[in-house]
Structure 1
Amino acid sequence: MKHSKWNKWIAVFLTLIITVSLTACGKESTTNESNKETKNTTQTGEKMVNIGVTDSLSSINPLLMDATEILKYAMALEFLPLVELNRNLEFEGMLASSITTEDNIHFKVTIDEKANWSDGQPVTAEDVAFTVLRLASPKLANASMALYAFEGIGDDGFVEEGATEIPGVKVIDNKTVEFTTKYPMALTTFQNTYGRYILTLPKHILKDVPEDQLASYEWFSAPTVVSGPYRITAYDLQHFVSYEANDKYFKGQPKIDKLNIKIVTSAQLLTSLQSGEIDFIQQTTGNVLQEDYANIEALTNITVNYGAPVTNQSVFFNTNSVSDVRIRQAILYGIDRQSLLTGFLNGKGEIVDGFLSSASPFYASELTPISYDPEKAKELVQQAEADGWDSSRTLNFYVNSGDTTFTQAADYIAAKLLEVGIKIQVTTVDLSTLMTKAGSKDFDLLAVQYTYAPVDPYPDINWLLSTDGWTGYVNDTVSQALAETQLTSDVNEIKDKYLTIDTIAQQEVPMLSAYVISAIGAANKRLVNATPDVYGSFINVHEWDVTE
């Protein structure tokens, strides 16, 4: 694939993350319902569960999907994705019973024969093709879905105005649709980028709605026809989304009558779990403060689950300003990462070199992380100085002020590096400013929590290790290895390519991993069949129940 295309998608994606994290966009529901009820049952005796999240939503319209996990999960309760990742990092069918490819160009999606809309109509391949056509509409102008990968869609991600079909999205029969890409794509990339984020809509309900009205179409505020286990009844994008059960859900009638997503601050999660106002926190949508982990573990009404280590506390170098690889290597040798993991995360995570953690099927355990070696770091600094490196120079290190754990860790890192002869000035800024610094390359070092999708790290690495990416680092061997990950579905072959990439990252150090976080999830003990995990938490939401 071409760097420019994926770079455009990543840039849009990151911009949207900033927006969703810092601003609660959109309007309130026009209904009079509220989610202030926080008891185990409603006044009519219905079972109810409250899910706590710390990210606001930008919309509840699937056609405005922005690729953030909170938005996907909130809308996928109503409109199922084709597939979803389960807790074992396996793609599990939701609307689709299978997705296959023989050439990494043509992808056949087979819709589950049992898949029905809540009004009894079958979910069809026509529904999928209709949804993709609307997602690619220039009138909706949603550029976040990277649809330019498909034949018949422009490099801007849109079809021509007035288009009635997409050559690269072809209906084969009532339950089969074939996607055709412009260039080779790994099956896992298709499943993760499109299978998880295309939320199919009912064509028979929406086909006559003018395209320019779909973005603000009031039907999405309380849809009458859904494919998922729940439907929205009320919302306030700054505070809550309320749902009622779809008793016609084709996978089984939900046991919980009503769900609420409650948007709170990280500081409120502990007390809300303790009081029972929140029943469930999932790792990627509810950011628990590190200092609250032990207190949550101690709650007698709560069961905790530490998810797979997928969130990398990455430190990126601007390789144009920190151009001497020996200085980058010295920084890697000069940071006591094991002490960071033990002292700041209580050991809840791991140390790796490169991009992939042990959660990835492509992780190579034979790549041993560099150990703390201050004497080696000093030696490298002295070698660089002999060749002209200015030892009096202070490197600017930008850190997200909202990440209270790493702001403390960054000061520890700066003190350690000063001992080996490298001066670091830590500057904490808000996330928006941090991303502006990253995009303009106005930094020497920059730290941010970054989740490289374990089953599909290609888009992120391809972006980061490029001229346009944050690091500005380009390596022909890396580029070749990345391209070859898209030509095969053989896990061992792909694993070998990522071993090459991570080995070069360890040697050239365009970035380093301070640690990989194993985040905490929590569930009230009254909940049955509900396990918070990094992936797959809501696949079986229709089977959740309460004991009271």
Structure 2
Amino acid sequence: MKKRNRILSLLLAGVMALGLTACGASNAGAAADETGSAAVSTESASSDTAASGEKIINVGVTNTIGSLNPLLLNGGEINKYATGLMFLPLMELDADLNFEGMLADSITTEDNKNFIVHIDDAATWSDGTPVTADDVVYTALRLASPVIGNTAMMYYVFEGVGDDGFVEEGAESIDGIQKVDDKTVQFTTKEEMPITTFENSYARYLLTLPKHVIEQYSEEELSTAEWFNHPDVVSGPFIVTDFDVDHYISYEANKDYWKGAPKIDKLNIKIVDGSQLYAGLQSGEIDITQQTMSDIPQEDYESVEALDNVEVVYGSPVTNQSVFIQTKNVPDVKVRQAMLYAIDRQQILEELLNGHGEIVDGFLSSASPFYDDSLTPVSYDPEKAKTLLEEAGWDGSQTIRFYVNSGDSTFVNAASIIAAEWAAVGIKAEIQTVDFATLMSVAGTEDYDVLAVQYTYAPVDPYPDVAWLLGGEGSWTGYSDDTLNEALTKSQLTSDPEETKELFSVVDKKVQEDVPMFSAYVISAQGAVSKRITGAAPSVYGFFNDVQNWDVVE
């Protein structure tokens, strides 16, 4: 695994962007309150609905966007989905974690190295021009450009791309990404890769651009071109009309969308603080929230459930409240085991999350097709914890430095409970509550004993995150194990779901045994949708897949 871990370390920022949840990190709501700009834009749109009869839907989210340029995609959910409304990905996961064709209608491989992507024959740009293989190849080349410099895309896996993820400056082609015919592209990887990894990490994040429109720009201009803020040619169901990266994004329907004209006229994404979502749903200023982009505070769950004008949908458990132990600083496995036995995780789940979630050991939750339900989580047993500490020669003099995200109010409370339970068995812990940016800075130093953060391990493709987090020295756990490494390596050499499940079970069992990390709980987050909306349902994945079918019934 040396080559894989070396490459993964180069792209850590990209991996974290895909998996981490900066709970409470949205300061956009506060900014909107101070400036009023978000409220003015979206409220005037709502007024237009009554006056003109236009159908408008407002989506409430709690994270800022960054950019609408697909070449600057950072992997964050709101960035991906907001941009994907205009420029479709090749494939997307649906609500049941099946891959669904978006711009492509199929992806196949015979050897897990050559992936054949076929573009839907019906796919066209909004100006009537067919979407072709040239568009896909052109976009991929720009994503691998050192001039644009997007490290989050992780294109180092393809033939002809350097380990830094870039081609040579001025390159006119990529050996591993080639046109076969007008509607077919072949992607060739340096090493074998399961098709699910290709689909999840690459097909979902390649948002194809219209070559015939933007080839007028040099690579230097592509990062700042105003065209991306007001594109006039798109492949998706909506076209942006106005946006403020911290407050809102407004779209109008692409009436020439090749999958069918949207039933609504306009769509607004309103960026607010989580504490504003309940009031927005209650007043009707927000029509729908999604489980991972819309962070409804736990304390508002019951109030949202009591609203007569919305339907509440709890998402599948995918967001893991992970607790990482830096094994370099807590080297005795018996001490780490004791730390886990000392915590009543089920009680925390019931009291702080009202049972909306689950307790698992390891990385995978029941949302993953590779989840092993025979792996029974370690139960609360403080006497066992005391015995283990005694066997380890623990004298209680050491203080565990426990870093927690101050923006995650639920886990701040959970951390206090955990610290009290540790104290009851003889483990002293000092809780350090820091903002998300500081937490990530601390994570890179190894100068901590325990660090907790919300982390979503992609249910269909957990390998990149797991391999990094258990990658030995320099990782957040400092932990490595030969048996575990062998299982992870083998998971990349098979596309058999049952074999993959067995291999990840090996990983989770080893993590349960050695405790380099544990899951405090896995969250089933709340989403909500106004009863005036049809064809739309909050879901962790596939939320916007059929947005053209969303409608308003007054």
SS in 2 for 1:397: strand
The answer for the alignment partner of 1:291 in structure 2 is 299
State the 1:206 CA deviation.
1.0
Q: After superposition, where does 1:127-526 map in structure 2 within 5 Å?
A: 127-385=135-393, 389-466=394-471, 467-526=473-532
| Structure 2 stretches lacking a partner, 5+ long | 29-34
State the 1:35 CA deviation.
3.1
Q: Identify which of 15, 39, 47 aligns with 2:46.
A: 39
The answer for the alignment partner of 2:31 in structure 1 is none
The answer for the alignment partner of 2:101 in structure 1 is 93
State the 1:77 CA deviation.
0.2
Deviation by residue 1:425-477 (Cα, 9 ceiling, x = unmatched): 11111001111111111110111011000000000001000122100101111
Give the letter for the 1:496 counterpart. E
Aligned residues: 538
Give the letter for the 1:249 counterpart. Y
The answer for the alignment partner of 1:530 in structure 2 is 536
CA distance in 1, matches of 2:164, 2:534: 45
Contact 2:13 2:152 in 1 (8 A): no
Give the letter for the 1:287 counterpart. D
Instruction: Please tell me whether residue 4 in structure 1 is matched to residue 6 in structure 2.
Output: yes
Give the letter for the 2:254 counterpart. N
SS in 2 for 1:432: helix
The 1:38/1:378 distance shift into structure 2, 3 A limit, reads farther
Contact 1:140 1:215 in 2 (8 A): yes
| Structure 1 stretches lacking a partner, 5+ long | none
State the 1:12 CA deviation.
4.0
CA distance in 2, matches of 1:309, 1:396: 28
The 1:118/1:299 distance shift into structure 2, 3 A limit, reads same
CA distance in 1, matches of 2:17, 2:551: 37
State the 1:44 CA deviation.
2.5
Contact 2:193 2:492 in 1 (8 A): yes
State the 1:240 CA deviation.
0.4
Contact 1:222 1:232 in 2 (8 A): yes
Deviation by residue 1:125-162 (Cα, 9 ceiling, x = unmatched): 11100000011111111111001111111111111111
CA distance in 2, matches of 1:56, 1:221: 16
State the 1:7 CA deviation.
2.3
Contact 2:470 2:480 in 1 (8 A): yes
CA distance in 2, matches of 1:536, 1:203: 27
Deviation by residue 1:334-369 (Cα, 9 ceiling, x = unmatched): 100110110111000000000000000000001110
Deviation by residue 1:44-103 (Cα, 9 ceiling, x = unmatched): 221000000000011111100000011000000000000111010001000010111111
Instruction: Please tell me whether residue 114 in structure 1 is matched to residue 122 in structure 2.
Output: yes
Contact 2:446 2:474 in 1 (8 A): no
Contact 1:34 1:234 in 2 (8 A): no
SS in 2 for 1:228: coil
Deviation by residue 1:452-507 (Cα, 9 ceiling, x = unmatched): 00000000001000122100101111111111111111100000000000000000
CA distance in 2, matches of 1:407, 1:311: 16
The answer for the alignment partner of 2:32 in structure 1 is none
Q: TM-score if structure 2 supplies the norm length?
A: 0.95
Instruction: Please tell me whether residue 57 in structure 1 is matched to residue 65 in structure 2.
Output: yes
Deviation by residue 1:190-245 (Cα, 9 ceiling, x = unmatched): 11111111100001101121110001111111110000000101110010000000
Deviates further, 38-47 or 522-531:
38-47
The answer for the alignment partner of 1:76 in structure 2 is 84
| Percent of aligned pairs with the same amino acid | 57
Contact 1:18 1:431 in 2 (8 A): no
SS in 1 for 2:42: coil
CA distance in 2, matches of 1:516, 1:159: 39
The answer for the alignment partner of 1:14 in structure 2 is 16
State the 1:38 CA deviation.
5.0
CA distance in 1, matches of 2:411, 2:310: 27
Q: How well do the aligned residues superpose, as a CA RMSD in angstroms?
A: 1.6
Contact 2:66 2:245 in 1 (8 A): yes
SS in 2 for 1:343: helix
Contact 2:404 2:433 in 1 (8 A): yes
CA distance in 2, matches of 1:23, 1:346: 26
SS in 2 for 1:440: coil
The 1:23/1:296 distance shift into structure 2, 3 A limit, reads closer
Contact 1:273 1:279 in 2 (8 A): yes
Contact 2:319 2:454 in 1 (8 A): yes
CA distance in 2, matches of 1:446, 1:76: 33
CA distance in 2, matches of 1:353, 1:395: 21
Contact 2:176 2:187 in 1 (8 A): yes
CA distance in 2, matches of 1:138, 1:370: 47
CA distance in 2, matches of 1:18, 1:419: 31
SS in 2 for 1:36: helix
CA distance in 2, matches of 1:54, 1:12: 21
CA distance in 1, matches of 2:14, 2:185: 28
Contact 2:160 2:175 in 1 (8 A): yes
Give the letter for the 1:404 counterpart. S
Deviation by residue 1:303-355 (Cα, 9 ceiling, x = unmatched): 11000000000100000000000010001111001101101110000000000
Contact 1:13 1:66 in 2 (8 A): no
State the 1:188 CA deviation.
0.8
SS in 1 for 2:125: coil
State the 1:9 CA deviation.
1.8
The 1:402/1:19 distance shift into structure 2, 3 A limit, reads closer
Deviates further, 513-522 or 37-46:
37-46
Deviation by residue 1:12-66 (Cα, 9 ceiling, x = unmatched): 4437979995677xxx9xxxx9433253826322100000000001111110000
SS in 1 for 2:46: coil
CA distance in 1, matches of 2:111, 2:502: 20
Contact 1:105 1:183 in 2 (8 A): yes
SS in 2 for 1:242: strand
SS in 1 for 2:444: helix
CA distance in 2, matches of 1:18, 1:136: 26
Deviation by residue 1:281-317 (Cα, 9 ceiling, x = unmatched): 1111111100000100000001110000000001000
Contact 2:71 2:223 in 1 (8 A): yes
